[in-house]
Structure 1
Amino acid sequence: MAKRISMIDLFAGCGGMTSGFIAAKGYKPVMAVEWDLHAAATYAANFGESHMKWGDIALVEDGDIPQADVIIGGPPCQGFSNLGTRDVNDPRNKLWKEYIRFVRHARPKVFVIENVDRFLKSSEFALLQAEVDGGLLEGYELSHGLLLAANYGAPQRRKRAIVIGSRIGKIPLPEQTHGQGTPLGLKSWRTVRDAFAGKQLLDQPVTTTLPASKATFFGMQVPGIFKSEDLHIGRTPTALSLRRYAHIPPGGGRFDLPEELLPNCWKNKPTGTTDVMGRMRWDEPSVTIRTEFYKPEKGQYLHPQWEPEFEGYRVNRPITHREAALLQTFPDSFLWCGTKIEIAKQIGNAVPPVLAEAIARHIKPYIRATQ
């Protein structure tokens, strides 16, 4: 048997990237680092507590960093995300330097950075390139670009910046495996319908709360451990919200609302923010699943079921946590810890496991060739 490829996951979140690498077979996590307790607990519930370092990455001593074949992870992106401050001096943007510190000490053959698309145009990425060109990462070669998750089997139009660094020869980005329609040699995009198929998802969930259970990780008590089925939880929208939802067809949004149902903030803003209060389409990938997918006013997050001639068969609610996790391609066996809000953050911040799996499968032969 081939020796398993050792890996470190930094800024690991709930483990979406680790999930994909493990699904690709042949990888073994030897360390993961995550500062958020609930996300670290979710990671530990799925992949083990012993190698998860919960806390500030800067507090991990150089001598405690193990050797590894691969380092993966995405330094927090709020500082330069389109949704953030775009402040180059934002201290959150400096966490990528911790990633570099781990690369220096673990000496992986390959490292993979995942981030928002804006990362490739940021000062931080320019500095990363400078470290490769005669700096702390000399000897590594970079490949980088934007990957659309739908092109790799996720039922979601999520665009992410991917950087592959290698000291065993330049490794290109993986070729896409899926495409819109029926492109030659490619599989068709997976859709919302594909993601939900066979999952026995109730149109109206029977509860708005998670089970009352607790688990202990790192000596701390957290809500959990929850199965994927436990995440199919509803909300209690107001009568006004339900009236609004009923007017939105698949692919529609706030511009489909009649005048009397428009809040003043939308009445006074006749252009822009076209996807808010939007409804998904069954036979297309979803929009990007963000951390507040349970709020229709934040994006196109209404359930896709809507019959124009039959008002009785319109599912007038946002997608549930369970449905969001399916659109992110988390496996049915995945376990969760945290409150509803914390789990939503974990889902929205994660790398879709099938995208991570595609990257893991792609880089594996290059690493195997050196063993």
Structure 2
Amino acid sequence: MEHLVNSKVKEIELSGIRKFFNMVADYENVISLTIGQPDFTTPNHVKNAGVTAIQHDFTTYTHNAGFFELREAACQFVSKKYGLTYSPENEVIVTVGASQAIDCTFRTLLEEGSEVILPSPVYPGYEPLIKLAGGVPVYVDTTENDFKLTAELLASYITEKTRCIVLPYPSNPTGATLSNEELEEIANLLRGKDIFVLSDEIYSELVYNGTHNSIASYLREQTIVINGLSKSHSMTGWRIGLLFAPHSVAKHLLKVHQYNVSCATSISQKAAYEALTIGMNDAEEMKTAYKERLDYVYDRLVKMGFDVIKPNGAFYLFPSIKKFEQTSFEFALSLVEKAGVALVPGSAFSTYGEGYVRLSYAYSMEQLIEAMDRIEDYLKSL
């Protein structure tokens, strides 16, 4: 009966990140720096809020967009943190993680043949959702531009079929961020055009120098902002995302969300309320630790001779391995087999990621020190 499966589903593949993670899972004594998951536990006060929600029987459906106080807290959070103004009544939706928010956005905005511009190398989760919604991903090579999509680079890729541009900053896999000036230039380029911006800001609380700024500050009516608590509050398994959009668009996004999941998990919503209010600054402690790890790993990689750009956000490094004259998959597999360290092949992040590997430093300093020692020994053997 497989021949009856939707052809679009058959054409997409599992994430290259997960495929490589699964491939090396059976190797013994491997330090895996592959998965983008904080190694911190969810803050205790947030966990307690979830327990209290269960004990008080907050276990029924909520409003499709999330219970009002949470939506209000979400709007206050992005207002205080990033200067964005959204109405809790009709301009924010609580989703099942940022991934579901992205899916809802593409299914709401795209029609068959709609083009979506992606700065590449890029998180592999966008392309399958674009294709399932009938869209066409259009990749822009940013490898010669410090992994940044700028207005100058973007302009030549816009066509009459362009429906959406994805701005995933801070970036997975590169950690790149855009300056206020760069965001404003993109906004000026797009203003008045029939083009949406999907601004994926899931790493917004993990910016090391300066503060995060959103293109919604400059292009509100054309922008859908996606955020969530997975990275900022180490709540990956709680599955809480936040989707902000002008009411004229949000009312349609809500329809797709409603028929997809009805609402986000009520218990997780209560924990999210605690995180966005009492825990508004919970990410600060994690960010301090990540910055220390970033400085350490970056310095070690540079001393080993890697060509690597020091990122300003997220918790990834994306060093080039082109000098070793191996594909990214060959290099990553050899590193596992001979050094016991797992990194993600850059090819998992589109063809423009070939020649690089992604290293997540969302791991303990002890693991990172050992991993760097092993990589250094491996390079000496080449």
TM-score (norm 2): 0.33
Higher helix share: 2
Q: Which has the higher contact order (CA 8 A, sep 6+)?
A: 2
